[in-house]
Amino acid sequence: MIVSTPPATSGIGAGRYIESAEQPANTTTSVHELSTADGAKVTGVLRTVPGASTVIALMHPRQDLTHHVLVPELLARGFAVWTQGTRSVNNDLNLVHEQALLDAAAGQVFLRDNGFGSVLTLGHSGGGALFAFYHEQAGLAPDNRLAATPAGRPIDLAGADMPVPDGAIFLAPHPGQGQLLLRLIDPSVSDENDPLSVDPSLNPFDPANGFAEPPESSSYSAEFIERYRTAQRNRVARIDAVARDFVAESGRARAHFTVSGDPADRRAALAPRVMTVYRTDADLRFVDLSLNPNDRPYGSLFGRRPDLTDYGLVGFGRLATPEAWLSTWSGLSSNAGFLRCAPEVRVPTLFVELTGDQACFPEDAVEMVNAFGADDVTHVRVEGTHFGGPIRKGAPTGASLAAAEIGGWLAQRFG
């Protein structure tokens, strides 16, 4: 079995195609369609083995984790596994994280209703911030939960049943979709309508700024790094402003329609604005391995040549509605930041850091672990890359090493 992500072809999805064990022969599998508190439909797969009283819920805001590499590993250790999608699985054009919390809540209610003694969350990569966000909101009194998305759309978290899980596991969590994109976005884009536009003074792939031809590591000056990161925030702020203008435009059209009843106003209110965000694979750490050093290979999550993939079709936040941009992809506006939410994660917590991670760096891991509000926090480090691949040829996979740590931690606390 393999994780359900593309194989590493043409540099896309490099490191995601991880071999894993077969699930135990006595596994029982069932598929379930759930209704969320706001009437959406989501689907999950429950796998269990005889005697399992603890269930681990895996979820990601954008990806289908049905065949996540840890599923058979957890089953083999005697734990049930629930893998669930959001309403935006594999189609994140309109991914609103506040709605994804209602999706997660439906899964948590289902697992409670099925009689498991303990229900835990396991967030890998972007699933980490999603579940940190869920823990934060679930732990609040209903009236204190968020009532609107960053775009101003009402969201009834207060009216939703949001059970607090019994434990939390985080595997290679990055700081959140928006916070991650804030590091990845290329600030040298000088015209948002032109994917080839470049401000030479900010071009991360110009030798004049410290870039070296791969696979040689680049070397950027402290002055360039500071200018670059400031410019990244400035670009996100500019895109935020455009998104808010689009939201306001739709709001005005809705208001006009309620007064005029004019079909033209109604069409204007319904017409989607889809934002294209070019060049989002340009974290300097991908090509300068001296920055926040760890065991990571040269390259990004998308391939070994960020100087090329930055210009390609695949990339985080490439297409988004204004609402999705503000809720998910803006590191300045999104509520789903790991560090913002972690203080309200108050259940026993395991944080598994991968030493070759290209999205969660050692400084990030320390900051995240220190932010948890739980009294019982365990931080372990295992060799591996972000998606659980081996750190070097012939080495054990990061996923298998992580599974051993997770299994031991679960056995100590949840039997």
How far is residue 86 from each of residues 97, 108, 140, measured CA to CA in Å? 10, 13, 22
Residue 255's pLDDT band (cuts 50, 70, 90):
confident
Residues paired with residue 81 on neighbouring β-strands, in sequence order: 47, 56
- Whether 176 and 62 have beta carbons less than 8 Å apart is answered as no
Residues in the chain: 415
Q: Check residue 154 and report its DSSP letter.
A: B
For residue 199, what are its two tokens?
């401000």
Domain 28-179+334-414 superfamily per CATH:
Alpha/Beta hydrolase fold, catalytic domain (3.40.50.1820)
pLDDT at residue 19, rounded to an integer = 59
The 10s digit of each residue's pLDDT in 272-320 is 789 999 999 999 999 999 999 999 999 999 999 999 999 999 889 999 9
Q: What percent of the chain has pLDDT over 90?
A: 87
SS3 content of the chain, % helix, strand, coil (to 5): 35, 15, 45
- Measured CA to CA, the distance from residue 307 to residue 287 in angstroms comes to 9
Euclidean distance between the first and the last CA atom of the chain, given in angstroms as a whole number: 27
> Which residues make Cβ contacts (< 8 Å) with residue 329, sequence separation at least 6?
177, 178, 181, 277, 316, 317, 320
Q: Does the pLDDT value for residue 26 go beyond 70?
A: yes
Q: Does the pLDDT value for residue 18 go beyond 60?
A: no
The 10s digit of each residue's pLDDT in 111-150 is 999 999 999 999 999 999 999 999 999 999 999 999 999 9
**Residue 239 belongs to what H/E stretch?**
helix 222-260
pLDDT at residue 3, rounded to an integer = 30
Peptide bond into 204 cis (omega under 30): no
Amino acid at 265: D
- Measured CA to CA, the distance from residue 384 to residue 63 in angstroms comes to 21
Quick one: average pLDDT of 17-42? Answer: 89
Mean pLDDT of the chain: 93
- Whether 346 and 168 have beta carbons less than 8 Å apart is answered as no
Quick one: average pLDDT of 225-254? Answer: 95
pLDDT at residue 43, rounded to an integer = 97
Ordered DSSP codes for 319-388: EE-HHHIIIII-TTT-S--HHHHGGG--S-EEEEEEEE-SSS-HHHHHHHHHH---S-EEEEEEEEETTS
The 10s digit of each residue's pLDDT in 39-89 is 999 999 999 999 999 999 999 999 999 999 999 999 999 999 999 999 988
For residue 382, what are its two tokens?
């295992």
- Measured CA to CA, the distance from residue 68 to residue 49 in angstroms comes to 17
Please report the beta strands in 207-318, taking only residues with DSSP state E, as ranges in sequence order.
Answer: 275-276
In 3D space, the residue among 128, 97, 106, 109 whose CA is nearest the CA of residue 364 turns out to be 128
Residue whose structure tokens are 């759930």:
34
- Measured CA to CA, the distance from residue 349 to residue 133 in angstroms comes to 14
**Residue 324 belongs to what H/E stretch?**
helix 322-324
- Whether 22 and 75 have beta carbons less than 8 Å apart is answered as no
- Whether 295 and 391 have beta carbons less than 8 Å apart is answered as yes
pLDDT at residue 185, rounded to an integer = 98
In 3D space, the residue among 395, 353, 390 whose CA is nearest the CA of residue 69 turns out to be 390
Q: Does the pLDDT value for residue 268 go beyond 90?
A: no
The CATH 3.40.50.1820 portion of the chain extends over 28-179+334-414
